[in-house]
Structure 1
Amino acid sequence: MDGFEIGDGVTTVDGPMKGVYGTVVWFYEEKQQLLVRFGASQQMYYAAKELKRWGD
């Protein structure tokens, strides 16, 4: 999963979710994308290059 694991805290490198804490909840292997959940109800798929670990 390109250095990320289920449960990792992440944020996006740009866009509207930059600076918002998210959690990796699933990996879509066929598309090589990570499902990130922000808060209780919003989640989106991202490529690993679009994410960075929380606190980095």
Structure 2
Amino acid sequence: MSTQYKIGDLVLAKLGTAPLVGVVVYRDVKRDRYLIRFSGVQQDYYSADELTPYSPSKKA
């Protein structure tokens, strides 16, 4: 069973050769894909297996 992400979750998605941090903005239930937005103009669909949860390190 793959991880279920919610809208607003931060994820790492591999785009090209480097993983980028993006945010889940939509889930296409029919295709079982997530729309990940990286910037105001860059977004793409990914399956849950292509994503990794991201949590920023907390430095004081």
TM-score per shorter chain, which class?
A: 0.7 to 0.9
Aligned length: 54
TM-score of the pair, normalised by structure 1: 0.81
Structure 1, unaligned runs of 5 or more: none
TM-score, normalized by length of structure 2?
0.76
Q: Please state how far the C-alpha of 1:25 moved relative to its aligned partner.
A: 0.2
**Cα deviation, residue 39, structure 1:** 1.1
Give the gaps of 5 or more residues in structure 2. Answer: none
Tell me the C-alpha RMSD between the 2 structures. Answer: 2.1
| Stretches of 4+ aligned residues off by more than 6 angstroms | none
Q: Residue 37 of structure 2 aligns with which residue?
A: 37
Larger Rg: 2
% identity of equivalent residues: 31
Residue 4 of structure 1 aligns with an amino acid whose one-letter code is Y
